Chains A and B, each alone.
Chain A
Amino acid sequence: MDTVNLLLQGFSTALTVTNLLWALFGCALGTAVGVLPGIGPATTVAMLLPITAKVDITASMIFFAGIYYGAMYGGSTTSILLNTPGETASMVTAMEGNKMAKSGRAGQALATAAIGSFVAGTIATVVVTLFAPVVADYAVKLGPPEYFLLMVLAFTTVSAVLGKSTVRGLTALFIGLAVGLVGMDQISGQPRYTGGKPEFLDGIEIVLVAVGLFAVAEVLHAVLFEGKVAETQNTLTRVHMSRRDWRRSVPAWLRGAAIGTPFGCIPAGGTEIPTFLSYATEKKLAKGEDRAEFGTRGAIEGVAGPEAANNATVTAALIPLLTLGIPTSNTTAILLGAFQNYGIQPGPQLFTASAALVWALIASLYIGNLMLLVLNLPMVGLWVKLLKIPKPQLYAGILIFATVGAYGMRQSTFDLFLLYAIGAIGVLMRRFDFPTAPVVVGMILGPLAEAQMRNALSIGEGKWSVFVERPVSVVLIVVILAVLILPRVMRRHAA
């Protein structure tokens, strides 16, 4: 009952006119950046981080959360209508969605994606409501050794498991950790890698790395390599689902939510595995005529399931973020950075120390999902118009916003030069297929993990055995080894 009361209080905060407007603004902006190629939720939240200096924390977190899951709705629109999916999360949607659109069923694909996102997002939000407080209660009992190992788990999955090449993932992770090292050591106050420059004492701003790696690198990559890529757009048809479409979609949504939610809950991250799993499940379960549509005319289950799984994962990923303070994707890492800008460290104490904020945020997830359903179903035609913006103007415009984010944080032109350098590094990473999420997660989580590790060692009086002396930490070590080994075994089996 306690949860219900807290949630109702959350609704009373989230339903004020100002906060509703922030949520609406966030959802609309999120949908827009999800639709637009070249700019995603991580970049957008990063560019807007300077507003944390002035806007109240509840309002800005509601706003950022709206961008975060709004982009998932928008992303599916682009992947169904364009032949170049923007983000990996919508890649699976693109497989069947594109086929459906080609055979004149774009409207049905968009409808099942939007409604499925709503259904799965809401189910996952219920899970967040029910389980996040339980996890937080439990997480309070964890000590530095367990926290450190949880963070190692996040590092392992983000870098070594999710990408295609382990060595490139690890390289990206250690580059992120290296960036996180710059500045004053949290425990001893010792400056590290500052080169005597006062600009580096506070560390390298998250905004710079995120905007440089995503926005600036994207523009530079586009001008260098994308000029000759031909793009085709499918025509939008009426957004409407027949009775048969419903009958095929509903079970797929529910299965997608069931697959996606647990994946979001664990501090492992990535939407690739749950969306692919959902796709494989739907393909396996389909029979007869429906089965024949897979890969030919486009099967509606193949859009409904993965889209639902995607949204469920993304929403449930808020559990490890809020209760453990562990981000597992670019965007959640930057959301963690936003909390830090307010001097708040997400973790088990968040649910007691900032209860009002947390519950307003959770309430806003329910509201946001509803807003997004309205924004994306009747109004989908409006967002599709965004795809008409010519690429040169779009990319050049992104640079103006990048400047706001990079300069607005510290008012330093030094940062703008640094931004360009990071953008150039980002192009190299992109060209040679190094993942970016490990860099961002490593940079933000690295200093926290280091502090936990050194605290743990202090508790153990300098002995490393402190990491294997408690049952939970032993379990975590086993899990870390399992995520390193199991996917490889599974991959071999599947192949």
Chain B
Amino acid sequence: MTSPRPNLPLEMRPDHPEPDHPSGQARWWETLVSALVFLVGAGLAVGAVDIPSEAGYGGVGANFLPWVVALALMACGAVLLWEARTGGYREMEVGPGDAGPDWRGFVWVSAGLLLNAALIERIGFILSCALAYVLAVQGLKRAFGKPHRTWVVDIATGLAIAAPVYWLFTKFLAINLPGLTAGGWI
């Protein structure tokens, strides 16, 4: 079982083979991610201090696994940090998008998701999800380089997906989703 990559047809191979020394930016990100893993472990350790260790008949109590997980994550974080500082993560599958992330599109999609969370109980599932759809599709169209002066179509599509979904789940499957009116159709 070697790594699958050598067998891949040409068009599936990443355009740029893995660099021996990742760019400074990639290293910075890898260091950050490793540090985050370590910090999560450390945070779990701090939390584990407060969990009582009373064990009863068993040798270990409610705080045993938390300690194991905390220490393991700190160890993983440390190894990752070492990898990041010594030539980058090992055996990385290089993803698409070497041109750099499209933050503009990301903001659009994020706005859609967060506004949806904030508004769903005020304006109801249909309107809130349609709004999320419109913002997300606008961001995605920009990121994919497609024409995006399509507000009317996007709004109509958003409503055309959200409304039947709402009816299907609330009327047929009796799942509670918030509506705008008491009648339950909007």
Contacts and interface: CB of A to CB of B under 8 A. Distances in A.
Contact of A223 (B9, B143, B146): B143
Contacts of B51: 190, 192
A223 B109 contact: yes
Contacts of B40: 175, 178
B42 interface: no
A430 B1 CA distance: 23
Given A165-B90, A228-B97, A392 B141 contact: yes
A433 interface: yes
5 cross-chain pairs, A with B, having the tightest CB-CB distances, nearest first: A225-B97, A462-B59, A416-B117, A392-B140, A396-B137
Given A174-B72, A393-B137, A396-B133, A223 B62 contact: no
B8 A95 contact: yes
A133 to B, nearest CB: 33
Given A428-B33, A433-B92, 14 more contacts: A50-B169, A92-B4, A171-B73, A193-B47, A220-B109, A227-B102, A227-B143, A279-B7, A390-B146, A392-B137, A393-B137, A413-B121, A430-B95, A460-B59
B14 to A, nearest CB: 11
Contacts of B141: 392
A165 B89 contact: yes
7 contacts: A51-B175, A83-B11, A170-B72, A171-B37, A228-B97, A272-B4, A432-B29
B176 A228 contact: no
Interface stretch (A345-353, A359-367, A487-495): A487-495
Nearest to A431: B95
B140 to A, nearest CB: 4
Given A400-B133, A464-B59, A181 B90 contact: no
Interface string A457-471: 110111110000000
Interface string A401-442: 101100110010100110110010000101111000000000
User: Main secondary structure on chain A at its contact with chain B?
Assistant: helix
A223 B116 contact: no
A225 B101 contact: yes
Contact of A174 (B30, B73, B89, B146): B73
Interface of A: 50-51, 53-55, 83-85, 91-92, 94-95, 98-99, 164-165, 167-168, 170-171, 174-175, 177-178, 181, 185, 187-188, 190, 192-193, 216, 219-220, 222-229, 272-273, 276-277, 279, 295, 390-393, 395-397, 399-401, 403-404, 407-408, 411, 413, 416-417, 419-420, 423, 428, 430-433, 446, 450, 453-455, 457-458, 460-464, 487, 490-491, 494-495
Given A219-B109, A392-B146, A408-B175, A225 B95 contact: yes
Contacts of A187: 62
A189 to B, nearest CB: 9
A491 B177 contact: no
B69 interface: yes
B179 interface: no
Contacts of B24: none
Interface in B146-185: 146, 157-158, 161-162, 165, 169, 173-178
B19 to A, nearest CB: 15
Given A457-B60, A462-B57, A433 B173 contact: no
Contacts of B1: 273, 276-277, 487, 490-491, 494
Contacts of A227: 97, 102, 105, 143-145
A223 B140 contact: yes
A392 B47 contact: no
Contacts of A397: 133, 161
B106 interface: yes
B91 interface: yes
A404 B4 CA distance: 37
A167 B12 contact: no
A404 B165 contact: yes
Interface string B43-74: 01001000110111111111011100100110
A55 B173 contact: yes
Interface string B15-49: 00000000000000110010011001100100100
A70 B43 CA distance: 41
A177 B69 contact: yes
B110 interface: yes
Contacts of B113: 216, 399, 416, 419-420, 423
Interface in B111-155: 112-114, 116-118, 120-121, 125, 129, 132-134, 136-137, 139-141, 143-146
A454 B2 contact: no
Contact of A178 (B69, B117, B146, B173): B69
Contacts of B79: 167
A495 B69 CA distance: 34
A400 B56 CA distance: 47
B76 interface: yes
B59 A192 contact: no
A392 B173 contact: no
A167 B121 CA distance: 42
Nearest to A418: B117
Contact of A193 (B44, B56, B99, B176): B44
Contacts of B54: 188
Contact of B80 (A99, A171, A276): A171
A27 to B, nearest CB: 19
Contact of A433 (B8, B29, B59, B89): B89
A413 B110 CA distance: 16
Contacts of B96: 225-226, 228-229
Given A223-B106, A225-B101, A228-B97, A404 B140 contact: no
A161 to B, nearest CB: 10
A50 B175 contact: yes
Contacts of B106: 220, 223-224
A223 B96 CA distance: 12
Which of A392, A395, A487 has the most B CB atoms < 10 Å from its CB?
A: A392
Contacts of B33: 428, 432
A399 B105 contact: no
Given A53-B175, A171-B80, A403 B129 contact: yes
